[in-house]
Chains A and B, each alone.
Chain A
Amino acid sequence: MIKVFVPLDSAALSMGADEVAIAIVQSAASQGKDITLIRTGSRGMLWLEPLVEVETSAGRIGFANISTEAVPELIKSGALDTGSHKSSIGLVEEHDFFKNQNRVTFARVGVIDPLSISDYENHGGLVGLRKALEMSAAEVVSQVTESGLRGRGGAGFPAGIKWQTVLNTQSDQKYICCNADEGDSGTFADRMLMEGDPFTLIEGMIISGIAVGATQGLIYVRSEYPHAIDILNRAIAMANEYGLLGSNVLGSKSAFALEVRVGAGSYVCGEETAMLESLEGKRGMVRAKPPIPALVGLFGKPTVINNVMTLSAVPMILAQGAAAYQALGHERSRGTQVFQLAGNIKRGGVVEVAFGITLGELVDIYGGGTNSGKPVKTVQIGGPLGAYLGTESWDVAMAYESLAQAGGMLGHGGIVVFDDTANMAKQARFAMEFCAEESCGKCTPCRIGSTRGVEVIDRIVAGEDQEKNLELLEDLCEVMTDGSLCAMGGLTPMPVRSALKLFPADFGIKTGAKL
């Protein structure tokens, strides 16, 4: 009996993984080959999808870019036994993209059957939760605090401090809300984890509930992730069945219930307070802070809001101890970061490594440069409102503070690469346009400013009153940055200002013009 693994991750599905899986089963049957097909998440080497794997005594060997047409030949060739084939990439975990990664959060993604609790447990799952159930709430919180885990949604706020605030706040009801409204361009780590290893997130949320005294969790998933929603719902049903969720978590006295809520296609609902409004069934409009959600959150109750990546790091922290996680990282950025390489890049995918890797390493070594083969012009990190950085920033260590110092922002860890054909005035305009499109419309700088930004950039590019309009754009950027209610309007000037600074020529600005 040969175990064959085919990803069910959306990225793989978009490359025909489902059809390939069917073809494998059919071909194996028709060729009398006794196989077991297991669907997994994706290894995150997206340029190799569909990446079919087969279990061998040496480990799992991968066959890259398998099409349905190639399947009969693949099986016929005996590759499933020998592992050798023209499409073989050898042992998957020895692949140069993979072998130096430090997969902590993503340890099981692409490896296990995402909808098998036993597979999950066999790969180290539930160890953290079992430990947490033995501890006091305060001890669990202090584990997280000591690990140095910071929020992976973008703001990088220490998770332990947030949890402590919720723990300290008396209330008849508290909530754990997982922000899975992964809307930034070039980001897909949340989706891949939810599709490839949902129990890690579920376990993380249960631990969080135990830590702060919350009995209800909600996962807010964007509607564009139907597969993730489906897998989460199935995983939650299994967890309820198993006793992982419910009134006695793993037979303990702790209760935890979990539900998936689906967004409605709004980018700003990824902002935590707009997400709360949306979860309450209201229009996704940003709330003013204070009060912070840790004190007054969902339905006015103390609420932990963490990103998928933050919560999914928690089981490992509990399982292996705060120190193990804390040992990884760079300066005040502890642990690992799941970087996502996208855009015009040769080898797109997920790179989980400790903080501190350089930007150049990620783009050139992991990513292999541009897909077009042309020189890299710039990268945008942290989503559509992140700053553009040029190759002069190649040595910047990828961590919260060092990146900020270089004028960038880590955000959710997405890196989008552009080659030298990119027009950065268009990209700057796009930032304003994106903001105009996605603004919740509450605060003035974002609501009106973004539309004016598009108009002013157009005038600059058209050469109208360039000097005055550049001054106006700068004033506008200041008003938006310092005056906006939330990060949506506040960050929009980042790509605009960085594009203008790095590539003035793209805006038709003559060299030497006053900026």
Chain B
Amino acid sequence: MTVVSDPRGTMPMRSGIGEADYGTPKSDSDVLVNVTIDGQSHLVPLGTSIMRAAGEAGCDIPKLCATDSLQPFGSCRMCLVEIDGRKGTPASCTTPVEEGMVVRTQTAKVAKLRKGMMELYISDHPLDCLTCSANGDCELQDMAGVSGLREVRYGIGKNHLDAPTDSSNPYFSFDESKCIVCNRCVRACDEVQGTLALTIEGRGFNSKVSPGGLNFLSSECVSCGACVQACPTATLQEKSVIDLGMPTRTVETTCAYCGVGCSFNAELRGDELIRMVPTKTGGANEGHSCVKGRFAWGYASHSDRVTTPMMREKITDEWRVVSWDEAIQFTATKFKAIQEKYGDNSIGGISSSRCTNEEIFVVQKMVRAAFGNNNIDTCARVCHSPTGYGLSTTFGTSAGTQDFKSVAHSDVIVVIGANPTDAHPVFASRMKRRIRAGAKLIVIDPRKIDLVESAHIKADFHLPLQPGTNVAVINAIAHVIATEGLIDEEFVAQRCDPGQFKRWRAFIELPENSPEVVSAQSGVPAQLIREAARMYAAGNNAAIYYGLGVTEHSQGSTMVMGMANLAMATGNIGREGVGIIPLRGQNNVQGACDMGSFPHELSGYRHVSDNAVREQFEMLWDVKLLPDPGMRIPNMFDNAISGEFRGVFVHGEDIAQSDPNVKHVHRALESMDLVVVQDLFLNETSKFAHVFLPGTSFLEKDGTFTNAERRINRVRPVMAARNGKQEWQIVCEIAQAMGYDMHYDNAAQIMDEIAQITPTFKGVSFAMLDQVGSVQWPCNDAAPTGTPIMHIDNFVRGQGQFMETPFVPTEERSNRKFPLLLTTGRILSQYNVGAQTRRTKNTTWHTQDLLEIHEADAAMRGIVDGQKIAITSRIGETILTAHVTQRVPAGVVHTTFHHPQSGANVITTEFSDWATNCPEYKVTAVEIRPAESSAPATNTLDEVLTKV
């Protein structure tokens, strides 16, 4: 574990107690200029500010409004310097260096000005430093010290000392009386987050930071905390710091929510976590965070946490607390017994994308080596398995092609079936920055997501397609590109398989794929499709970002291939700014797939039938492996119901809530002889479990997560494991108890084994990651520093493979009985089934799941906003609260699934992707009626119109 002690020297730092602040962003220029600062000459990149040049040279210049995550602003005037040959005292933050410039940062003149400036600041600031929550971490305090201010001569005058404190946000407070109006919060909200919720109100002395409206909570603020991090004083302060005091040490680790994989410094005092501060060196987030990562970690110490193993004979029994030994012995013995009675194939395991690579690797190893079968699947089955299938078929690698930074070079950004501002907020901020700087934006989604129109962002085209018609629309876009001469023939000729391309071209040019035909199927006007296609093809660098709105369909894999076809046809692959990028839902979906937890693949996406590969594993593990694929999760359920599959190890996934058609899942679980659940909290699945093994939160784990850009980040234990064991230890102990010798001294050894056996991970080790921070696989002899962009000169599979993508409409269709289509999504403040976020103050924002329904559909059914409604599919029925809106088109309804009582999956169907069996969560035909009335809604549109 790496503990970074507080290296604060003479200069103050605020953006995390471990990181230096050079005041202005780094310049990317290759041109170096020579500048003399306080007698010493330095070579610095052109475009560097004097402030940064001086700071890098160790001559820190006082500053208050400058911080290197924001553009220079020049308001505090503390950083004034003298430059030979120039009159006056320019601000060093806003003045770039020039060749031969001679700067003096410490002169009598500037010292007097700085002191005078500080005297003005302090003339309107409460002098309560000793009891202030920022005591010891206040840049104003530090600058007062640096300026040598000894007396404030202004006496009592106009001031803001009685200004009120806004405590409305659950995580931070805004104490206006301490505000120095440096604008850092306002600028952070603009430049870093891109929400523009904050502004300065009033003029002159009356200037003040304002969230607009009543207070922070009721404002457009998304609680990302960028403003809190940017604040140099106690004005915007974490409530945890106010309550607990300043942290004294930091541990760098990785967030465990979405697939962005933000790096954070966990700031602690002793073993108490005080706050999480995103690190500027974090490759994925570069100092930014969202409300979940920064603030919603309190679940780790929630009283619901189970910290001791528990068992019961029957699922109707009460839980009994047992020792680790008993639980592990029982589990092993029972699994063995089942296998003896029903055969080796009768048990299996499900690994979790929430866990570390090391934990996942060990789980799949347990299944393959100790269980002796390939019945290992992962929850990626239900989210991004089509990504793996589609991208490996076309490009040769089951992963996104780009790093997140790449978006800064995109000219056209296409977002399909993803809602980044809610689900991947930190990446969304990057994307919005680029869009505000002029990139074009095309959104393909049934809903009017925030990106379609929000502050300073407007999609050039929004294609509001009917759920289930993705493939038709992507084919129509490709049709336009192929028939209007927009194909990058040179790229295709050089990089792609000519035979497949010919087949694809003949297919895609068929009239059935024309926008005019597709328009009728998808509801998107043909002209809109044509213009969007032209924009994509004409953009210099065009990138496609997508989410579960692509994959969770009966044609999820086809759609992924359709997007890959488009990128190949237009040459948008293999450089910065282009590519096909899945936005991964969970922190380690990528890792779960990489680690060999699909039933047909060993780590590094190598099929179990590959004898050479299997032999390597057999040698290393000293065990015989099966050459045929094992069961997928839905196969496990089906086989459980038919009695062939009787025991399962469920690692950190609540399948009884999150998998579709939960009634079916419950029946499967009830049919089994042994269900072992390893998790933080009792959940829906544990209701069917015989053994509950307590897990560790990300704050206790030691290992790595791999994010959506293939970046392997370290997860370091911030606090001791509450359950007394690392999860990989528990898994090893079960394997051992089953008679397979599996032992590691620490998680680093697991990664060493992964690296030894997985070519794309060959160069990875904890030691290496601790040194460089993070690395993107492939990381091996050919790419020792990792691979930010893939397929640069060649596709991993050799030639790019165009695939024909016929549109096969889902069988799940709206009809007379179920006239509406339900689709599902996520909201910013909550995460998936809410096991974590519901146990934090994030419930302030989203106390229940709402059903978004178009006002026309609502009116037709006599439904008003806020009303309880019953929603019924052919599978089941649940009750939700209606939110009448224009966000969804007529005919489509949308809900989230963060609260178990909503039971969204009670109504989702058994349909799934043809290639991977990823469930079709995104299309369910439903009907809706007011919950109070039991009579089904039978009003026809005509009847309603007559009434109106």
Which residues on A are within 8 Å of B, measured CB to CB?
Answer: 266, 268, 283, 285, 288-290, 435-452, 455-456, 459, 468, 472, 475-476, 478-479, 482-485
Contact between chains at A483 and B80 (CB < 8 Å): yes
Provide 28 A-B residue pairs closer than 8 Å at the C-beta atoms, listed in order of the A residue: A268-B203, A283-B199, A288-B72, A289-B94, A290-B96, A435-B204, A439-B203, A439-B204, A439-B205, A441-B200, A442-B73, A442-B75, A443-B75, A443-B77, A444-B120, A447-B204, A448-B121, A448-B123, A450-B205, A451-B157, A451-B158, A452-B154, A478-B112, A478-B113, A478-B116, A483-B89, A485-B74, A485-B75
Q: Which residues on A sit within 8 Å (CB–CB) of B95?
A: 290
Minimum CB–CB distance for A316 against chain B, Å: 33
CA A4 to CA B207, docked complex, whole Å:
52
Interface residues of B in 79-116 (CB under 8 A from A): 80, 88-89, 91, 93-96, 109, 112-113, 116
B window 96-155: CB within 8 A of A? 96, 109, 112-113, 116-117, 120-121, 123-124, 153-155
A354 to B93, CA, bound (A): 42
The minimal Cβ–Cβ distance linking B860 to chain A, given in whole angstroms, is 41
Given contacts A283-B199, A436-B204, 18 further A-B contacts (CB under 8 A): A283-B200, A435-B204, A439-B203, A440-B204, A441-B206, A441-B207, A442-B183, A443-B77, A448-B121, A448-B124, A455-B155, A456-B154, A478-B113, A482-B88, A482-B89, A482-B109, A483-B89, A485-B75
Assess the A485–B204 pair: CB atoms within 8 A.
no
B116 proximity list for chain A (CB < 8 A): 445, 475-476, 478-479, 483
A residues near B88, Cβ cutoff 8 Å? 482
Residues from chain A with Cβ under 8 Å of B123 in the complex: 448, 452
Asked whether A441 and B203 contact (CB < 8 A) given A288-B91, A484-B77, A485-B77, the answer is: yes
Main secondary structure of the interface of B (DSSP, over half): loop
Complex formed: what's the CA distance from A483 to B121 in Å?
A: 14
Interface size class of B (residues with CB under 8 A): 35 or more
Q: How far is the CB of B562 from chain A (nearest CB, A)?
A: 35
Shortest distance from the beta carbon of B307 to any chain A beta carbon, whole Å = 53
6 tightest A-B CB contacts, nearest first: A441-B207, A288-B74, A439-B204, A479-B116, A288-B94, A448-B120
A479 touches B94 (CB 8 A): no
User: A389 to chain B: closest CB distance in Å?
Assistant: 23
Taking a contact as CB atoms under 8 Å apart, the answer to whether B120 and A436 are in contact is: no
Please indicate which of the listed interface residues A436, A448, A468, A478 has the most CB atoms of chain B within 10 Å of its own CB: A448
Using CB atoms, name the residue of chain A closest to B204: A439
Q: Taking A443-B77, A445-B120, A472-B154 as contacts, is the C-beta distance between A290 and B199 under 8 angstroms?
A: no
- Interchain nearest-CB distance for B116 vs A (Å): 4
- B77 nearest in chain A by CB position: A483
CB distance from B16 to the nearest CB of A (A): 26
- The residue in A437, A438, A443 that gathers the most chain B C-beta atoms within 10 A of its C-beta is A443
Contact mask for chain B residues 765-802; partner A; CB cutoff 8 A; 1 contact, 0 none: 00000000000000000000000000000000000000
| Residue positions of B touching A, CB distance < 8 A | 72-77, 80, 88-89, 91, 93-96, 109, 112-113, 116-117, 120-121, 123-124, 153-155, 157-158, 180-181, 183, 199-200, 202-207
Contact B199 A444 (CB under 8 A): no
Is the pair A451, B89 in contact by a Cβ cutoff of 8 Å?
Answer: no
Q: Give the distance in Å from the alpha carbon of A485 to the alpha carbon of B90 in the complex.
A: 9
Q: Which residues of B contact A482 (CB under 8 A)?
A: 80, 88-89, 109, 113
Query: Quick one: closest A residue to B71, CB to CB?
Result: A288
CA separation between A476 and B153, bound complex, in Å?
11
Q: Which residue of A lies closest to B158 (CB)?
A: A451
Measured between beta carbons, the chain A residues less than 8 angstroms from B91 are 288, 485
B559, chain A: closest CB distance, angstroms: 37
CA A283 – CA B201 in complex, angstroms? 9
A485 to B202, CA, bound (A): 18
Find chain A residues with CB under 8 A from B181 CB.
441, 447
A452 to chain B, nearest CB (A): 5
* Least distance between B184 CB and chain A CB atoms (Å): 13
In the assembled complex, how far is the CB of residue B27 from the closest CB belonging to chain A, in whole angstroms? Answer: 14
Q: Find chain B residues with CB under 8 A from A446 CB.
A: 204
Q: In the complex, which of the residues B91, B113, B120, B123 has the most CB atoms of chain A within 10 Å of its own CB atom?
A: B120
Task: Compute the total of residue contacts between A and B using a CB distance below 8 Å.
Answer: 112
Contacts of B89 in A (CB 8 A): 482-483
- Complex CA gap A436/B124 in Å reads 15
Q: Within 8 Å CB of B72, what residues of A? A: 288
A435 partner residues in chain B, CB cutoff 8 A: 204
Which residues of A sit under 8 angstroms from B206, Cβ to Cβ?
441
A475–B109 CA distance with the chains assembled, in angstroms:
12
Measured CA separation A31–B152 after assembly (Å): 76
**Neighbouring B residues of A443 by C-beta, 8 Å:** 74-77
Least CB distance, B680 to chain A, in whole angstroms: 47
**Docked pose: A448 CA to B205 CA in angstroms:** 6
A256 vs B372: C-alpha distance when bound (angstroms): 79
Closest B residue by C-beta to A464:
B155
When distances are taken between beta carbons in the complex, the residues of chain A under 8 Å from B75 are 442-444, 485
Chain A residues with Cβ below 8 Å from B202 are 441
A266-B203 contact in complex given A290-B96, A478-B112, C-beta closer than 8 Å = yes
Could you say which residues of chain B place their CB within 8 Å of the CB of A459?
Answer: 155
A444 x B117 contact (CB < 8 A): yes
Q: Which residues of A contact B183 (CB under 8 A)?
A: 442
| Chain A contacts for B158, CB-based, 8 A | 451, 455
Contact B157 A447 (CB under 8 A): no
State in angstroms the CA–CA spacing of A450 and B183 once bound together: 19
Q: Which residue on A lies nearest to B182, using beta carbons?
A: A444
* Contact between chains at A447 and B205 (CB < 8 Å): yes
**Contact yes or no, A483 B204, CB < 8 A:** no
> How many Å lie between the Cα of A442 and that of B184 in the bound state?
12
How many Å lie between the Cα of A459 and that of B109 in the bound state?
27
Alpha-carbon separation in the docked complex, A478 to B95 (Å)? 21
Chain B positions within 8 Å of A437 at CB level:
203-204
Q: Which residues of B contact A285 (CB under 8 A)?
A: 200
Give bound CA distance, A456 to B116, whole Å.
Answer: 14
Give complex CA distance A485, B117 in Å.
Answer: 12
Indicate if the CB atoms of A449 and B157 lie closer than 8 Å.
Answer: no
CB distance from B378 to the nearest CB of A (A): 47
Interface centre among B93, B94, B113, B203 (most CB of A within 10 A): B203
Q: Which chain A residues border B124 with CB–CB below 8 Å?
A: 448
Question: A445 to B154, Cβ gap below 8 A?
Answer: no
Nearest to A475 among chain B residues (CB) is B116
Residues of A within 8 A of B155 (CB): 455, 459
Shortest CB–CB separation between residue B538 and chain A, in angstroms? 17
Residues of A within 8 A of B153 (CB): 468, 472
- A469 to chain B: closest residue by CB: B153
Q: How far apart sit A190 and B123, CA to CA, in the bound complex (Å)? A: 40
Q: Complex formed: what's the CA distance from A290 to B183 in Å?
A: 19
Closest B residue to A287 using CB positions: B74
CB-CB under 8 A from A483, the residues of chain B are: 77, 80, 89, 113, 116-117
Most chain A C-beta atoms within 10 Å of own C-beta, residue among B73, B94, B154 = B154
A284 to B86, CA, bound (A): 28
A433 to B926, CA, bound (A): 67
List residues of chain A with CB within 8 A of the CB of B73: 288, 442
| Smallest Cβ-Cβ distance to B118: which chain A residue | A444
CB-contact partner of A438 in B113, B199, B203, under 8 A? B203
Instruction: Give bound CA distance, A451 to B207, whole Å.
Output: 12
A265 to chain B: closest CB distance in Å? 10
| A109 smallest CB distance to B (angstroms) | 34
Q: Tell me the nearest residue of chain B to A476, going by C-beta.
A: B116
Chain B neighbourhood of A442, CB < 8 A: 73-75, 183, 207
B207 and A447 within 8 A (CB): yes
Which residue of chain B is the closest to A450 with respect to CB atoms?
A: B204
Closest chain-B Cβ to A401's Cβ sits at a distance in Å of 15
Q: Are A479 and B117 in contact (CB under 8 A)?
A: yes
**Contact indicator A451/B77 (Cβ below 8 Å):** no
Smallest Cβ-Cβ distance to B96: which chain A residue: A290
Q: Which residues of B contact A440 (CB under 8 A)?
A: 203-204, 207
- Asked whether A444 lies within 8 Å of B112 as measured between CB atoms, the reply is no
How far does the Cβ of A458 sit from chain B's closest Cβ, in whole Å? 9
Query: Which of A438, A455, A478 contacts B154, CB < 8 Å?
Result: A455
